[in-house]
């Protein structure tokens, strides 16, 4: 087991805050992670692995230190760092970050966005880094997507996960306190409320 995998092999709610401040690099852009969410597999109704292994979530069941990328809403990719031990499907959703290298490339990929918003949100983050489904399963130590963990962040806030109906009470969203690149919190809405809002 490499050093990164070993650092990520603990319980996801303990590992997730350690990802904050880490540097994720791909395709000429590096993002400092400022916000994450923890998902704990079969013990967590909010997790993609809650109902068991599928072709879509298989990477979550593998060893820690790999990237789980999925397509959502028919238009966006989201990326998770696989945590815990092999067979325990846990993941850390990368919710937001600050572009610290390759900002011109990130601006090109996210035309019209302010620098603060280039990777502020999970879909924006993957677009800034040019991550797609082909990076599902990537080894974050070997590349081509690289994650480098830094020193533990000392000012971490925690609260409910964003837009989640399964286990919304768990305070498993973690962010660097006061960082301007952290995304806006949005609680889950019922389908009825969403329909009314769209009418």
* 116 cis-preceded (ω within 30 degrees of 0): no
Given a contact cutoff of 8 angstroms between Cβ atoms, the answer to whether 125 and 62 are in contact is no
3-class SS of residue 1: coil
CA neighbor of 95 nearest in space, from 157, 38, 30, 10:
38
- Which tens digits make up the pLDDT trace of 82-98? 999 888 899 999 999 99
What is the mean predicted confidence (pLDDT) over 169-180? Answer: 93
Q: Which long-range contacts (CB under 8 A, 24 or more apart) does 100-108 make?
A: 100/23, 100/30, 100/31, 100/32, 101/25, 101/29, 101/30, 102/28, 102/29, 102/30, 103/29, 105/27, 105/28, 105/29, 106/29
Average pLDDT, the chain: 89
CATH code of the domain containing 81? 3.10.300.10
pLDDT digits (tens, 9 = 90+) for 24-39: 999 999 999 999 999 9
What span, in angstroms and rounded, lies between the C-alpha atoms of 55 and 51?
A: 12
Q: What is the pLDDT of residue 169?
A: 79
- 103-151, pLDDT tens digit by residue? 999 999 999 999 999 999 999 999 999 999 999 999 999 999 999 999 9
53 secondary structure, DSSP code = -
Contact 25, 142 (CB under 8 A): no
Residue ranges making up the domain that contains 110: 3-198
Domain total for the chain? 1
- The pLDDT score that the predictor gives to residue 41 is 82
* pTM of structure: 0.89
Question: Residue 195 above 50 pLDDT?
Answer: no
């Amino acid at each position: 087991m490499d050093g990164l995998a070993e650092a990520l092999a603990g319980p996801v709610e303990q590992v997730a805050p350690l990802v904050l401040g880490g540097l994720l690099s791909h395709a000429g852009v590096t993002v400092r992670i400022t916000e994450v969410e923890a998902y704990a597999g079969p013990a967590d109704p909010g997790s993609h692995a809650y109902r068991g292994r599928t072709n879509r979530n298989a990477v979550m069941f593998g060893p820690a230190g790999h990237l789980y990328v999925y397509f959502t809403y028919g238009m966006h990719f989201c990326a998770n760092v696989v945590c815990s031990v092999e067979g325990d499907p846990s993941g850390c959703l990368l919710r937001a970050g600050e572009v610290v290298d390759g900002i011109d490339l990130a601006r090109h990929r996210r035309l019209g966005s302010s620098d603060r918003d280039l990777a502020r949100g999970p879909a924006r983050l993957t677009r800034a880094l040019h991550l797609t489904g082909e990076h599902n399963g990537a080894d974050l130590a070997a590349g081509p997507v690289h994650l480098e963990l830094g020193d533990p962040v000392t000012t971490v806030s925690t609260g409910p996960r964003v837009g989640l109906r399964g286990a919304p009470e768990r305070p498993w969203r973690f962010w660097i306190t006061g960082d301007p690149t952290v995304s806006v919190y949005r609680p889950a809405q019922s389908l009825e409320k969403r329909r009314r809002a769209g009418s």
